C-alpha cells in the first residue's frame, strides 16, 4: 500500500494526484511511528532464468501451411515470444511470402 492509498482509506486524501494536507502528513508520521509499513515495496532478488526447451530448439523448425520455412527466432504474433519458447498453441509468425500465417513446429 502506498502513501496515497493509505490516506484515501483514512479519508485524508483523494485518489489521484495532488499534495497532502498537513493533517495527512501528520497521519503518515504517526502511522510510521506506530510501525505501519507504508510505501515500502518488497522486490524479489531472485534471478529469473528462462531456458529454451531442449526438445524445441535446434531440433525443430517452423513451417507455414504452404511449406515456407520460418526462423525459430521469429516472434509469435499470438503470444509475443520467440517461436522457440511459444506455448500458446496457435503460433503465428511473419512469413517471407508476406503477412502473418499460422506455423507448425515440426521436427528436423
Is the CB of residue 97 less than 8 Å from the CB of residue 103?
no
Task: Note the pTM of the prediction, 2 decimals.
Answer: 0.42
3-class SS of residue 83: coil
Q: Residue 83: how many CB atoms within 10 A of its CB?
A: 23
Contact 7, 16 (CB under 8 A): no
In the chain, what are the domain boundaries? 3-33, 60-107
Cα separation, 66 vs 52, whole angstroms: 27
CA angle, 107 as apex, 105 and 108 as ends, to 5°? 125
pLDDT, one tens digit for every residue, the chain (108 residues): 788 888 999 999 998 888 999 999 999 999 989 988 887 655 556 666 656 555 555 677 888 888 888 888 788 888 888 887 777 778 888 877 778 888 888 877
Q: 95 in helix, strand or coil?
A: coil
Amino acid at each position: 500500500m502506498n502513501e496515497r492509498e493509505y490516506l484515501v482509506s483514512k479519508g485524508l486524501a483523494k485518489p489521484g494526484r495532488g499534495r497532502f494536507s498537513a493533517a495527512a502528513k501528520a497521519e503518515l508520521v504517526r502511522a510510521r511511528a506506530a510501525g505501519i509499513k507504508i510505501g515500502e515495496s518488497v522486490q524479489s532478488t531472485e534471478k529469473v532464468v528462462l531456458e529454451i526447451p531442449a526438445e524445441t530448439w535446434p531440433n525443430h523448425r517452423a513451417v507455414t501451411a504452404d511449406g515456407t520455412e520460418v526462423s525459430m527466432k521469429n516472434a509469435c504474433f499470438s503470444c509475443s515470444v520467440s517461436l522457440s519458447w511459444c506455448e500458446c498453441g496457435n503460433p503465428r509468425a511473419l512469413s517471407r511470402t508476406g503477412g502473418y500465417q499460422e506455423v507448425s513446429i515440426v521436427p528436423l
